[in-house]
């Protein structure tokens, strides 16, 4: 599995860059409307969901195709809901973002723990997952936060998670060369 993830390190990097850009845009234009925020969130969730579905279809050894497909479908649905109904209320959008962040974060933590057995430096992936879960829980606990505060929190979350994913992608990239991957089980032989 680590070989496949290391070969596709750029997908993790892409997720990180999009998250950082999303966060920076939210900070640069704090007066951004809920409509624009819904469209930006929809684009990010859609890309994230498509990435998870790619891995589910491709089949990554050691990863459950079912769980990857579930998180991928969840991300795609969240993205499409935000894109097709951009006039959605701030409260409903907040709940969608919070639930998506919690579910995605839990699966990132699980993936990071699994990677811990394979490589060093996997903690960046775990950090991203923990930040995602904490962010989602905070949004559920205080849903009445003002629009500006919500935009700043979402921007901060996106930047922190994006940076964690970018650092994780570079660690994965460093493993892609021959002889650099940790030894795995011997290949199965056909009889």
The per-residue pLDDT for range 142-165, each reduced to its tens digit, is 776 655 677 787 788 889 989 988
Q: Is residue 84 part of a domain?
A: no
Q: Is residue 122 part of a domain?
A: yes
Q: Is residue 7 part of a domain?
A: yes
131: domain range? Answer: 2-33+57-65+90-173
Percent of the chain at pLDDT > 90 equals: 12
Give 92-141 pLDDT, tens digit per residue. Answer: 777 877 898 899 999 889 888 887 777 776 778 888 899 989 988 888 88
Number of domains in the chain: 1
The model carries a pTM of 0.48
Secondary structure in 3-state letters for the chain: CHHHHHHCHHHHHHHHHHHHHHHHHHHHCCCCCHHHHHHHHHHHHHHHHHHHHHHHHHCCCCCCHHHHHHHHHHHHHHHHHHHHCCCCCHHHHHHHHHHHHHHHHHHHHHHHHHHHCCCCCCHHHHHHHHHHHHHHHHHHHCCCCCHHHHHHHHHHHHHHHHHHHHHHHHHHHCCCCCCCCCCCCCCCCCC
């Amino acid at each position: 599995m680590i070989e496949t993830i290391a070969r596709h390190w750029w997908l993790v990097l892409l997720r990180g860059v999009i998250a950082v850009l999303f966060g920076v845009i939210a900070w640069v234009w704090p007066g951004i409307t809920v409509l624009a925020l819904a469209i930006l969130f929809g684009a990010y969730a859609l890309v994230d969901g498509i990435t998870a579905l790619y891995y589910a279809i491709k089949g990554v050894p050691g990863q459950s195709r079912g769980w990857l497909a579930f998180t991928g479908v969840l991300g795609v649905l969240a993205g499409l809901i935000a894109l097709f109904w951009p006039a959605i209320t701030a409260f409903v959008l907040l709940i969608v973002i919070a639930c998506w962040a919690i579910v995605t974060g839990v699966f990132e933590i699980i993936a990071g723990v699994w990677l811990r057995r394979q490589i060093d430096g996997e903690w960046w992936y775990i950090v991203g997952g923990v930040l995602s879960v904490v962010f989602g829980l905070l949004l559920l606990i205080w849903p009445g936060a003002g629009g500006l505060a919500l935009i700043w929190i979402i921007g901060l979350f996106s930047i922190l998670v994006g940076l964690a994913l970018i650092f994780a992608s570079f660690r994965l990239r460093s493993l892609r060369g021959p002889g650099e991957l940790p030894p795995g089980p011997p290949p199965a032989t056909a009889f």
